[in-house]
Structure 1
């Protein structure tokens, strides 16, 4: 009878547990798989759109840079006067050798005749009807991608196709402000393909992506290994990019296949307005979402495996529940027969459960207390908006950092940071956009420092960075300041708006400028005011004469 009872309970417990685990595993597989798959798909899409944005930024910055180079070249007096063609030829040929992206550079007189050119190509030819002269004589001109009309036979094919150019031209004026000619340049379009191949080839889940540069009318200017070049696209993603949106979509392309398509506009850089290009980055939907499908399969598989494992464990564990019950039943029968006068101590499920519940309750209380203390400590030491340290964290860090610097005979660099013209962002786009910018600034600052350094927010847009440096602390601190300025110079995207902002930095060193934390901060603050006064977007290393300044300029 006891064996039948034992087997019956054991089987019932095992079956009940197995059924519960199977149902729970199925439910978790569905919920977690759906939620995780959706999050992962969005993450992959954002990664593709980020590649498009980076490609657009790289193209715009490159065009902005070379436009500036042409403008600077046009200020040389020898070019403006057009007297010494031999010297002009030497200058432009040297520039061509140093910067090969300038495939052809020519200097045209006021009638459109080429008087000097790289490699002497087209010297003596009149190209007054070409856009570089027609538009260049009226002001700075940047022409879109086009075939080489006059130079096609002078240069080798690229990817089996004739070479293409982007034009930059500026007018030339002598010292009497008289128009003397045009400085015309052809930039080989190969550089854009080089950017596509080398900088944005894709890694990890973004391997095998195709990157396209599309003109304003939808014509493909640059494609994957020449694919679709010259064709016109009609895609939702392209329309979004032309409306200055950044994001991703799943679109059906001209080959009938679905691709996860990231998009971004190439809308210029600083004072360069761009050529209204759009950047599309596509990855076949099966390749792009393969991790999503694999995740769902893995969750389902692990759910089934865990259900089988827990079913076996529950069947095995049921024996420990039945054993004490059988022992108690035998003891009761023995008492009935008068063989014993008291029940023996039985170690079984009840006692184990009581102990388990007690320990669990105690552990839960201790865990709650530790979690609460940890949360309170985190709140006390961190800025709520940016997650950076606050003034309290800065004071604590100074104690340990100064002691460590003294032990290692090293130095500390204190960088006082303040955003230039931050208030107009709040006024124009709202405080939510300003908060987004502050959070992004915090992320970029974290990327600039090492693990043992501290970035803290003192309030508003004022932050401070404390880092350990070697013996040549001034050199390391200024290099860090330059890296920070470079990071902050990159545009911010908030609410679909591109925001540019600069930063001023003041630097002081421990122990050279002071051995007291408060004085170090004050010295760095004095250097920051000097940086602001010098035109902002720069850094200044503290010097003793700054302490004599009584009137400090505004930080606005």
Structure 2
């Protein structure tokens, strides 16, 4: 009976340990997964909404630019007077060569007959019934996306899919202000897909992201699958029911799957009113939350493994520690206070609850301290506004990064960044708007660097990036600076206001310029000063101040 009793206790300890660890792993997996899913969903949702807004802005900006180009072309005397058709034909062929986005440029006489065109395509054709003449003869006309009808045979698609165009037409007026003809142009809709590809270049945060451009009548104008183009999109959005809405939500699409869906209107640019387009950016929930699912699986797998391991140890240990549990409870208290390093081997069965409470207290104490230390460390190393690292984090990171660079015989890029003329933003819109802009700048900088790089805010609108570089250190630093300049050029939206921010960058490279962190920071600051003195929104490599070709700028 005594032997049987001992066996029973060992089984109870092993099973209790396994169940406790497995339950703890399950609870941690659920809590961490739920909290992470909520936070990550909100972050990625805001991200896809921002991408939709950026895409809409790019579409409107591009249409506004090409509308202006056509308006300028219509003022050329060779096109307005139509007294020298050969000269007009040579001119528009040259224009189409220089501006290949215009697939076809044609000059129509006052009756709607094509008298000159790129490659003489449709010359002599009466297209007075087409919208480019009907509306273009009355004023500036911008036609929505449509299939190529008259030009379908002239411009066959290499993929076999119908080519689509956007029309821009403007009347040609003689010196007396009377209608002399119409300048008609067709822009290949492929430029919209080019804008999409350029916009998403390097966007590693968003996996499996699809973009849709929707016409004013709900027709799909641009989609990842060409077969969807021209179809009506039946999508119910609670927050995005109005075409002027900007935001995101989780929506069920016609394919029956749920997607994080960001939406924004393409509502024009300056005096270009837009064509009523809207942009939708979607990402599958599974793809967006894959990191959360992986984390949950890892925690659960680790918990189950520990449950098995601990149950084996518990089974083995029970044979030695079964005894008066008062003794083991006191020993557990001594272990918690650090007075002993291991529990004594005893026997007994009455004081299991005391042991459990003592062990639980120990675990709680250690967990509490670990959380407190982790929170204190995070606060000490991060800027409270932007979430970027602070100067302390920069010093600590630089030490480890330098050691890694020495081991791998690689280089480090130190970039000192400063926003140009940031004070007027605070003065005009208030410090809250300024803080919002700083947070968005921080998000964009994180988006530009690689995973192992550090972005730190050292004060005000001053920031520092420490980036790991390969063998071509200076070239990679230039590429990073170009990427930052390009990303910062995208408008900032805060409180309904569109703000443009410039940034200047100074660059120093370890070990080419120096090996001391403080000296590299000084050199980057010196190069930053030179960049500002040369016109701002540019970068300068330390030591290249006197060679204009070695500094980069963006308009």
Bucket of the pairwise TM-score, normalised by the shorter protein: 0.5 to 0.7
- CA deviation after TM superposition for structure 1 residue 543, in Å: 11
Q: Structure 2 CA distance, aligned partners of 1:73 and 1:356?
A: 86
Q: Structure 2 CA distance, aligned partners of 1:519 and 1:30?
A: 48
Runs (5+) with no aligned partner, structure 2 = 342-361, 547-555
Q: Can you list the C-alpha shifts for 1:74-131, whole angstroms capped at 9, x where unaligned? A: 5655445544432432343344456554222112345544331112123234545543
Distance 1:385 1:297, change over 3 A: closer
Three-state SS of the structure 1 residue aligned to 2:275 is coil
Distance 1:264 1:470, change over 3 A: closer
Distance 1:457 1:360, change over 3 A: farther
Q: Can you list the C-alpha shifts for 1:132-183, whole angstroms capped at 9, x where unaligned? A: 3454456543321134454455444797775432112345567898875443
Aligned partner of 2:232 in structure 1 is 231
Write out aligned runs for 1:137-216 (5 A). Answer: 140-148=140-148, 150-152=150-152, 154-156=154-156, 163-172=163-172, 181-192=181-192, 206-207=207-208, 211-216=211-216
CA contact (8 A) 2:166 2:187 kept: yes
- CA deviation after TM superposition for structure 1 residue 321, in Å: 0.7
Q: Structure 1 CA distance, aligned partners of 2:14 and 2:543?
A: 78
Moved more, 470-479 or 154-163: 470-479
Three-state SS of the structure 1 residue aligned to 2:252 is strand
Aligned partner of 1:356 in structure 2 is 335
Aligned partner of 1:107 in structure 2 is 107
Aligned partner of 1:341 in structure 2 is none
Q: Structure 1 CA distance, aligned partners of 2:207 and 2:545?
A: 54
CA contact (8 A) 1:50 1:262 kept: no
Write out aligned runs for 1:477-556 (5 A). Answer: 482-494=482-494, 497=496, 499-505=498-504, 527=530, 530=533, 537=537
Distance 1:426 1:12, change over 3 A: farther
CA contact (8 A) 2:528 2:539 kept: no
Q: Structure 2 CA distance, aligned partners of 1:545 and 1:14?
A: 71
Distance 1:538 1:17, change over 3 A: closer
Aligned partner of 1:321 in structure 2 is 321
Aligned partner of 2:117 in structure 1 is 117
Aligned partner of 1:250 in structure 2 is 251
State how many pairs are aligned. Answer: 514
Q: Structure 2 CA distance, aligned partners of 1:424 and 1:48?
A: 26
Distance 1:177 1:479, change over 3 A: farther
Alignment of 1:260 onto 2:239: no
Q: Structure 2 CA distance, aligned partners of 1:527 and 1:315?
A: 71
Q: Structure 1 CA distance, aligned partners of 2:3 and 2:260?
A: 66
Return the TM-score normalized by structure 1: 0.67
- CA deviation after TM superposition for structure 1 residue 215, in Å: 1.0
Distance 1:137 1:479, change over 3 A: farther
Three-state SS of the structure 2 residue aligned to 1:217 is coil
Q: Structure 2 CA distance, aligned partners of 1:37 and 1:411?
A: 35
Q: Structure 1 CA distance, aligned partners of 2:212 and 2:16?
A: 58
Write out aligned runs for 1:394-473 (5 A). Answer: 415=416, 417-420=418-421, 423-424=424-425, 427-428=428-429, 431-446=431-446, 448=448, 457=457, 459-463=459-463
Q: Structure 1 CA distance, aligned partners of 2:452 and 2:286?
A: 42
CA contact (8 A) 1:261 1:283 kept: yes
Whichever of the two has the greater Rg, that structure is 1
Distance 1:474 1:68, change over 3 A: farther
Q: Structure 2 CA distance, aligned partners of 1:309 and 1:400?
A: 35
- CA deviation after TM superposition for structure 1 residue 357, in Å: 2.2
Moved more, 301-310 or 145-154: 301-310
CA contact (8 A) 1:526 1:542 kept: no
Q: Structure 2 CA distance, aligned partners of 1:518 and 1:290?
A: 38
Q: Structure 2 CA distance, aligned partners of 1:23 and 1:212?
A: 44
Three-state SS of the structure 1 residue aligned to 2:320 is helix
Return the TM-score normalized by structure 2: 0.67
Three-state SS of the structure 1 residue aligned to 2:6 is helix
Q: Structure 2 CA distance, aligned partners of 1:36 and 1:380?
A: 23
Distance 1:285 1:537, change over 3 A: closer
Distance 1:71 1:378, change over 3 A: farther
Distance 1:381 1:137, change over 3 A: farther
- CA deviation after TM superposition for structure 1 residue 361, in Å: 10
CA contact (8 A) 1:421 1:501 kept: no
Q: Can you list the C-alpha shifts for 1:334-354, whole angstroms capped at 9, x where unaligned? A: xxxxxxxxxxxxxx9579646
Distance 1:321 1:261, change over 3 A: closer
Aligned partner of 1:553 in structure 2 is none
Three-state SS of the structure 2 residue aligned to 1:218 is coil
Q: Structure 2 CA distance, aligned partners of 1:24 and 1:210?
A: 39
CA contact (8 A) 1:144 1:166 kept: yes
Q: Structure 1 CA distance, aligned partners of 2:525 and 2:200?
A: 44
Runs (5+) with no aligned partner, structure 1 = 329-347, 547-556
CA contact (8 A) 1:527 1:542 kept: no
- CA deviation after TM superposition for structure 1 residue 236, in Å: 1.8
Distance 1:372 1:63, change over 3 A: same
- CA deviation after TM superposition for structure 1 residue 442, in Å: 2.6
- CA deviation after TM superposition for structure 1 residue 459, in Å: 4.0
Q: Structure 1 CA distance, aligned partners of 2:465 and 2:295?
A: 41
